[in-house]
Amino acid sequence: MSERPLAGIRVLDFGLLTAGANTSAMLADLGADVIKIESGAYLDPFRVVGKIDSDEGWWNRSPQFRFTNRNKRGLALNLKDPEGQRVIRELAVHCDVVVENFRRGVLDRAGLGYKELSAINPRLVFAAISSQGDTGPERMNVSFGSTLDATSGIASLTGYEGEEPRISGMDVNYPDQIVSLFATGIVIAAVTEARYTGKGAFLDFSQREVASFTLGEEILAASADPAHRFAPRGNSEAGVAQQDAYRCADGRWLAVSLDAPDPSMEAFCASKDRDTAVAMLLDKGIAAAPCLDGNDLLRDTRLQGVTLVRDESGGLVKGLPYRLDGKGLAIERPAPDLGQHTDEVLRELLGYDDARLKELNDSGVTSTTPTIGEV
């Protein structure tokens, strides 16, 4: 009875950075067996972006990579080598889901696109996550995090009143963070459907569309009323009498939403320490909260809920955005070293023997070290 919701589901994970790798991480957290594919010639960029030293094995120590890839097994297979491609096709027979967020066309050129893999395994659910989607004139456009704050419309509603629009920036890259919250649910829907009908699906996700979807009511309002106005709105919100961030006597900021205007709010906050002001406002039934920073979030373990966890080596990793059965995340294994489970998985799923594994390693199809040197 304690079987996890996705026990028995296996995921072939080409997901990189946040949008892709986090979708498969959420599947792993629900009990799926996620095998992450990288190659010595192409690491998950989070291994490189998060580089903290240059000593041997640096590629296995990135905090960002560790945050996003716990509970996965890791394989390193060269996708540009026909032998590597052949191994992937053999693995696809044993998988239920593929997650990928390469630039459009990369897997197709390697003979590993949906067409080829679904011909081998018709039950496969193939989640392709890209900037603009798999079709349309902009399908090949590149984007990076905050590009999509801009092109999705979110930036146009963000900023100080009467000033220029703003993006969430590289320390947030907001549109990258939300796509996996939606894509994971859709993948589970398609897996459920595939179990029922025996047929898989090609799921085409546009990250830009996911971000615009969060402004659905604004787009809808604009369609009915060309006079509907758009501009950065500071911290105000239509329908809320007064809402803003105010500086307190200790120099820290709090946020307040009021049902009726109160011109004295700024002076009230300025006369109190932040925590005192928040407590007094909450007592009066007013929605108020401190504007916390990363250190505040690290310290407040009650507020953290299930969102942060430590793995067996004590490293901080991303937890869950929700809880199931009242519980948070079980870390069953830390993020894999590059190619850590290549031999284990190829033996287990494909029955490869020592000779075959040695052959793949000798020819550079498999590896545990980057072939790219300094990145």
Partner 1 sequence: MTEASSRPLARFTIIEVNDAKIPLCLRLATSLAAKIAADLGADVLKIEPSGGDPVRRAPPVLPQGGSALFQFLNTSKRSLMLDLASESGRTALTQLVEKADVVLFEEPASIASALRAGKATPVEIAAFPLETDAAQRPVSELAIQALGGLMHMVGEPARKPLKLGGHQASYAAGLTAFTGLMTALAARDAGRRAPPVRVSLAEVMQWVNWKAASGAAASGISPGREGRNSEFQVLPCRDGHVAVVYTVTQWPATRTLIGDARLDDPKFSTRAGRRQNIAELYAALAPWFEDKTRDEIQKVAQAKGVPFGPIFSPAELLLTEQYVARGFLADMTHPTQGRLRLPQLPVQWNGRSFTPRPAPELAP
Site for partner 1 in 325-344 (CB under 8 A): 325-326
Polymer length in residues for the chain? 375
* Contact call for residues 244 and 280 (beta carbons, < 8 A): no
Number of residues that bind partner 1 (CB under 8 A): 141
CB 196 within 8 A of CB 37: no
Span 122-141, contacts to partner 1 by CB under 8 A:
132-138, 141
Per CB under 8 A, the segment of 34-42, 154-162, 339-347, 361-369 that binds partner 1 is 154-162
Least Cβ distance, residue 184 to partner 1 (angstroms): 5
One symbol per residue from 163 to 202: x for binding partner 1 (CB under 8 A), - otherwise; what is it?
-xxxxxxxxxxx--xx--xxxxxx-xxxxxx-xx----xx
Q: How far is the CB of 212 from partner 1 (least distance, A)?
A: 6
Residue 334 CB, shortest distance to partner 1, in Å, is 15
- In the region spanning residues 86 to 105, those forming contacts with partner 1, defined by CB under 8 A, are none
φ, ψ of residue 339 to 5 degrees: the values are 70, 15
Helix (H, G, I), strand (E, B) or coil at 163: coil
User: Least CB distance from residue 56 to partner 1, whole Å?
Assistant: 21
Residue 165 Cα to chain centre, angstroms: 25
Among 105, 109, 122, 144, which residue sits at the site for partner 1 (rule: CB under 8 A)?
Answer: 144
Check residue 121 for interaction with partner 1 (CB under 8 A).
no
Report the alpha-carbon distance of residue 361 to residue 147 in Å, rounded.
Answer: 39
CB neighbour burial string for 97-125, b if at least 16 within 10 angstroms, e if fewer: bbbbbbebeebeebebbbebbbeebebbb
Beta carbon nearer to partner 1, 215 or 349: 215
* Residues in 38-77 at the binding interface with partner 1, rule: CB under 8 A: 52, 63-64, 67
Please, which of residues 252-281 interact with partner 1 by CB under 8 A?
253-257
Nearest-angstrom CA–CA distance, 66 and 175:
21
Q: 194-253: which residues touch partner 1 (CB under 8 A)?
A: 195-196, 201-206, 208-210, 212-226, 228, 230, 232-235, 237-240, 243-247, 253
Dig out the tokens for 217 from the structure.
């009511």
Nearer to partner 1, 275 or 353 (CB): 275
Residues 6+ apart with CB under 8 A from 63: 50, 52, 315, 316
Residues 6+ apart with CB under 8 A from 342: 74, 75, 76, 77, 357, 366, 368
> Interface residues for partner 1 in 281-300 (CB under 8 A)?
282, 285-298
- CA dist., res. 10 & res. 21, Å (int): 15
Nearest to 155 by CA among 40, 232, 44, 92: 232
- Residue whose CB is less far from partner 1, 77 or 167: 167
Which of 4, 109 has the CB closer to partner 1? 4
Comparing CB distances to partner 1, the nearer of 3 and 362 is 3
Give the nearest distance from C-beta 7 to partner 1 in angstroms. Answer: 8
